[in-house]
Amino acid sequence: MRLAGRLLAAVAAVVGLVALFLALIAATDGAGSGFVAWSAAVGIAVLAALWRGRRRSWQGRLVPFLPVLVAAALTLSVCVPTVSTTRRHPADLSFVTTEHWRLSTGSRVAVYHYPPTGNSPRHRVPLVYLNGGPVRGISVLDHRFLQQLAGQGYDVYAYEQAGGGRSDLLPMDQYSITRSVHDLGAFVDKLGKGHADVLGFSSGAIVLTRALADPATAAHLHRAVIAEPGPMDGPTARIAGHKGRPSARGIAPAMTGPRSTHVPRYGVAFGFMRLGLLSPDSGLVGQAEGANAFTAADLGSDTASAYCARDAHRIPVEDTKQNFSFSAAASLRIQQTIEDSPSLAPQLKRSRTPAMLMIAECSSQIRQWETTVLADNPAIQRTQYMPGVGHHMWNGLGDNDQRAAAVITAFLQDKPAPLPDYPTRADIPAFLHDHK
């Protein structure tokens, strides 16, 4: 009983010291790669061990230091990087050339160009793709869809937003939704082809929506396809509501592969960032190191949430290990600037760029995020409710890519829509009431 009591006391001491260290990590914002918190926690622990052993023999004085040594070793693993702290960009893709453009905003972005192919008529207006993320590389799955659009005569350009994929990093305080919008305007301007059509998906759709509300950027846009947008501003981000039909989240097999979150350093860093206990530019893990460490498996059930429940056991591999890239810290920083921004509605109501909204049946987005865009943008000419697909509407399953391409190209060419115009603005109350 005495031995069990001592062991229990030792375990409690270790747990207490680890908890103290984690609290100090949050209090110091991870300063000095966590060594400031580690030094303080170990210092306090050593003083406590000396105090406990002050009346014991010299052998007995060593006993209180055993939990200190164990806790020091455990917490030290949070302070030591296991990947390079210098950004390691993914290797170039074999099927498309990676170009690097310096924009007038100062961003240096990775650019991919798919010239028109096939026998379809060539379209004079280029098509620009804005991927989701927000600071994430363009997946191989998306590249295949862009190739399909090029095969229908479109001159397709895509760029990875600053900090994502093969694009250069920005100082953390320069990431913002406003910077993303200005980068879009600068990119279209650098194309030198006058106006451009833009397809924005997920967080890319947020950038596009805000671009439509910015007269200087909207002046570069010919037509806009807003696909599965997230919240466009702070008031929208605070809206509570429901999502689409059930997704595969929670029922799909767990993603395989290594997870950085299984490493104590990155598990603490990414977990605390998500909980708001660490700032995106904390001193614990640098931006470059975090991007190098993050893996596709770290996304967990987020990937499954982009597919319908019926597709839970046939979710495609969206990307390769060599191409995957995601900066969690920069993404959180941009999301914070969206949440802190005032209502966009007054500016969006003055938009005149023809636009289309795409909504997935099994969307993992809050429906009110999407219907707010529809309600506030009078230039949205049609809405296409895509049956049988989740958030990632072009996903290589069945004829999903062909159906998404048909909807997009019909709007860009101002042809009749392949699906009913639904929901319209008048349909929004019933659409939300029926939990569509």
Note whether 308 and 246 are within 8 A (CB): yes
Question: Which residues of the chain have a pLDDT value below 50?
Answer: none
**In terms of domains, do 274 and 213 share one?**
yes
Note whether 388 and 415 are within 8 A (CB): no
Residue 155 lies in a domain: yes
**Torsion of the alpha carbons at 198, 201, 206 and 209, rounded to the nearest 10:** 30
**Residue-level pLDDT at 60:** 58
Cα gap 80→175, rounded to integer Å: 26
**Residue-level pLDDT at 63:** 67
**In terms of domains, do 265 and 391 share one?**
yes
Cα gap 359→379, rounded to integer Å: 17
Number of other residues whose CB lies within 10 A of the CB of residue 55: 8
Helices (H), 29-64: 35-52, 58-62
Partners of 136 in the beta sheet?
326
Note whether 134 and 335 are within 8 A (CB): yes
Q: Give buried/exposed letters for 377-413 (b at 16+ CB in 10 A, else e).
A: bebbebbbbbebbbbbbbbebeebbebbbbbbbbbbe
Cα gap 433→220, rounded to integer Å: 37
What angle, rounded to 10 degrees, do the helices at 328-339 and 177-191 form?
100
The candidate with the shortest Cα–Cα distance to 247, out of 142, 386, 392, is 392
**In terms of domains, do 148 and 38 share one?**
no
**Residue-level pLDDT at 67:** 85
Domain boundaries, position 330: 99-433
Note whether 152 and 222 are within 8 A (CB): no
**In terms of domains, do 190 and 292 share one?**
yes
Note whether 155 and 123 are within 8 A (CB): yes
Residue 344 lies in a domain: yes
Residue 90 lies in a domain: no
**In terms of domains, do 9 and 136 share one?**
no
**Residue-level pLDDT at 57:** 62
**Residue-level pLDDT at 390:** 96
- State the pTM of this model: 0.93
Q: Tokens 């990632």, residue?
A: 392
Domain count, the chain: 2
Q: Tokens 């924009």, residue?
A: 103
**In terms of domains, do 70 and 105 share one?**
no
> Mapping DSSP to helix (H, G, I), strand (E, B) and coil, where does residue 113 land?
strand
The candidate with the shortest Cα–Cα distance to 354, out of 290, 412, 426, is 412
The candidate with the shortest Cα–Cα distance to 60, out of 69, 48, 68, 50, is 50
**In terms of domains, do 115 and 53 share one?**
no
**In terms of domains, do 259 and 298 share one?**
yes
Instruction: Determine which helix (DSSP H) or strand (DSSP E) holds 156, and give its type and residue range.
Output: strand 156-160
Note whether 167 and 109 are within 8 A (CB): yes
Question: Could you give the strand order of the β-sheet that contains 355-362, starting from the edge strand earlier in sequence?
Answer: 99-102, 108-114, 156-160, 127-130, 196-201, 221-227, 355-362, 380-390
**Residue-level pLDDT at 11:** 85
Contacts of 79 (CB under 8 A, 6+ apart): 33, 34, 35, 38, 265
Residue 165 lies in a domain: yes
Residue 82 lies in a domain: no
Note whether 80 and 268 are within 8 A (CB): no
Residue 86 lies in a domain: no
> Mapping DSSP to helix (H, G, I), strand (E, B) and coil, where does residue 268 land?
helix
**Residue-level pLDDT at 66:** 85
**Torsion of the alpha carbons at 372, 375, 376 and 378, rounded to the nearest 10:** 150
**In terms of domains, do 72 and 107 share one?**
no
**Residue-level pLDDT at 232:** 97
Note whether 224 and 197 are within 8 A (CB): yes
Determine the length of the chain: 436
Residue 404 lies in a domain: yes
Residue 135 lies in a domain: yes
**In terms of domains, do 64 and 181 share one?**
no
The CA distances from residue 58 to 46, 68, 169, 170, in Å, are: 15, 17, 54, 55
**In terms of domains, do 64 and 123 share one?**
no
Terminal Cα-to-Cα distance of the chain (whole angstroms): 61
Give per-residue pLDDT as tens, 230-258. 999 999 999 989 999 999 999 999 888 88
**Residue-level pLDDT at 56:** 65
Binning the chain into helix, strand and coil, the percentages to the nearest 5 are 45, 15, 40
